[in-house]
Chains A and B, each alone.
Chain A
Amino acid sequence: EVRLVESGGGLVQPGGSLRLSCAASGIPFSSNWMHWVRQAPGKGLVWVSRINTDGSSADYADSVKGRFTISRDNAKNTLYLQMNSLRAEDTAVYYCARGHCSSTSCHFDCWGQGTLVTVSS
């Protein structure tokens, strides 16, 4: 069974930091690009970041560039998102997703259940 399980969400003050994790099972984790997608309460999906199979390359949405860092540990089948300098507008459910990527596009065939990050004083 394919499973992606996020953890690490919670309440954090503006300016604070949080690290999300996504544990993968049932998939060849080291062979897949992995992504983070977020969804603010009552709002739509927003792509956040992606990382290639060996962790040597990553891309970010402009809204998080310089504040968030995506990484992975293939030995532990785990994806991470380090979030620094958090703002109220970062409040959202954060999903990890497996990406099937070509040279020009990706699609996401497997999603986790999401973890809620709330940035508030």
Chain B
Amino acid sequence: SYELTQPPSVSVSPGQTASITCSGDKLGDKYASWYQQKPGQSPVLVIYQDTKRPSGIPDRFSGSNSGNTATLTISGTQAMDEADYYCLAWDISAGVFGGGTKLTVL
């Protein structure tokens, strides 16, 4: 079965750039989306179709996808961005989430 791999944790200083990767076989041939989840809350879509931002998502969130890796980049990271982040891609007719990355802003 298809698998997506994310680093368990990423740390960043406020104002710096955070990059969260998501790796899978030929992931660049698929669309990736990204979700932010804060403790006790439902997930929120932050990037879809690799690079698109839903309305209401700050432009400091961006995405890319090439080869075997999709990347979520948060520029000028703020304390409010501290959360778990999950990537999602599709293998035929099944959705596959990455294991999630805990972003710590310190």
Contacts and interface: CB of A to CB of B under 8 A. Distances in A.
Contact of A107 (B49, B84, B96, B99): B49
B43 interface: yes
Interface in A52-104: 59-62, 95, 100, 102, 104
B65 to A, nearest CB: 11
Contacts of A37: 43, 95, 97
Interface residues of A, number: 24
A106 interface: yes
B100 A107 contact: no
Nearest to B6: A44
B42 A104 contact: no
Contact of A108 (B1, B43, B49): B43
Contacts of A44: 84, 86, 97-100
Interface in B23-51: 30-31, 33, 35, 37, 42-45, 48-49
B93 A47 contact: no
A112 B44 CA distance: 10
A70 to B, nearest CB: 13
Given A44-B86, A95-B42, A105 B31 contact: yes
Q: Which of B93, B98, B100 counts the most A-chain CB atoms under 10 A from its CB?
A: B93
In the A-B complex, the 4 residue pairs with the smallest Cβ-Cβ separation, listed nearest first, are: A47-B95, A107-B33, A107-B48, A105-B31
Interface of B: 1, 30-31, 33, 35, 37, 42-45, 48-49, 54, 84, 86, 88-90, 93-100
Given A50-B95, A105-B31, 8 more contacts: A37-B43, A44-B84, A44-B100, A47-B97, A102-B31, A104-B31, A108-B43, A109-B54
